[in-house]
Amino acid sequence: MSLRYLPLALAFGVAAPLAAQQQDFSKVEVKAEKVAEGVYMLTGSGGNIGLSVGKSGSLVVDDQYAPLSDKILAAVKAITPEPVRFVVNTHWHGDHTGGNENMGKAGAILVAQENVRRRLSSGQFMALFNRKVDPAPEGALPVVTFAEGLTFFWNGDEVRVFHVPPAHTDGDSVIQFVKADVIHTGDCFVNGSYPIIDTSSGGRVDGILTAADRVLAAATDKTRIIPGHGALATRAELQAYRDTVKTVRDRVAKLKAEGKTREAVVAAKPSADFDARWGQGFMKGDAFTGLVYDSLP
Ligand SMILES: [Zn+2]
């Protein structure tokens, strides 16, 4: 097991992505926050969880790490007696799919975009973390997949799941609870931080912008937005994130078009004026600039 990505994980604090092995989960508390009528956000360690409850049963968006499954199921049970019937994964990363096998054993049907199943089942190498990820066991794989999207008519709501162009990865989905007016963005949006662009999973900065634009188009000032990581967000916060990413992207694109190397572009610090606000989490300005460079055509 490689420890080389541990400092990165520690830098991200409680929401350390993808670093299950090093973490002591016994101390993690899973907390539920009511977002709208019938919709909750659960936090523990890993990606934010979305939860729809009602007489149809529970529908969960993402499931963090396997050692947290009992705590997650207990948090759901504290809200509703109905079982978890569906889990929708926003993408394949282990801090969003680590509980899949346990959720499946508990009776949930696992649902995701087809690239999520493809990447989970085949094993991956994540360049950003210098980390090899083994193929997931059969029981952790989505059993219902889709190419572009699908809709659940569930708990009196219309839950639209739509795939976006390669953004954080090439299997990202956004989940919109139309009636409750809540949108879960997965890691296309990290509230208060630059995004991770997982280029080894096909991620691209332009997809991050397309995803953000699609969510902005679907949202109003009243919409509650559950980001992949970070606090529950408003449309204005997503807009600020989108504008920041867009500005840095355009600056990097200009330098790249001028023929500058990756090193020269990073050294030019095109994100400098944003780093105090957006570069204090896991993703620092220089690292983000490099990933923007790598993922531009
Ligand atoms: Zn992720």
pLDDT at position 75 is 98
> For the segment 74-124, what is each residue's pLDDT rounded down to a tens digit?
999 999 999 999 999 999 999 999 999 999 999 999 999 999 999 999 989
Q: Calculate how far, in angstroms, residue 151's C-alpha sits from the geometric centre of ligand 1.
A: 23
pLDDT at position 6 is 35
Q: Calculate how far, in angstroms, residue 17's C-alpha sits from the geometric centre of ligand 1.
A: 7
Q: What is the DSSP string of 170-224?
A: SS-EEEEETTTTEEE-GGG-BTTSPPP--GGGT--HHHHHHHHHHHHHH--TT-E
Nearest Cα to Cα of residue 271 among 246, 289, 295: 289
Q: Calculate how far, in angstroms, residue 259's C-alpha sits from the geometric centre of ligand 1.
A: 31
Residues of the chain with pLDDT under 50: 1-18
Q: Calculate how far, in angstroms, residue 55's C-alpha sits from the geometric centre of ligand 1.
A: 31
pLDDT at position 128 is 84
Q: Calculate how far, in angstroms, residue 268's C-alpha sits from the geometric centre of ligand 1.
A: 27
Q: Calculate how far, in angstroms, residue 121's C-alpha sits from the geometric centre of ligand 1.
A: 17
Beta bridge partners of 40: 34, 51
User: Which residue, chain included where needed, has tokens 């504290």?
Assistant: 78
pLDDT at position 226 is 98
pLDDT at position 22 is 67
Q: Calculate how far, in angstroms, residue 107's C-alpha sits from the geometric centre of ligand 1.
A: 25
Report which residue type is found at 232: L
pLDDT at position 20 is 52
Q: Calculate how far, in angstroms, residue 278's C-alpha sits from the geometric centre of ligand 1.
A: 17
Helix (H) or strand (E) holding 35: strand 31-36
Q: Calculate how far, in angstroms, residue 190's C-alpha sits from the geometric centre of ligand 1.
A: 10
Q: Calculate how far, in angstroms, residue 98's C-alpha sits from the geometric centre of ligand 1.
A: 12
C-alpha distances in Å from residue 107, one per residue of 85, 101, 135, 264, 268: 7, 10, 22, 52, 52
pLDDT at position 10 is 35
Cα R_g (the chain), whole angstroms: 18
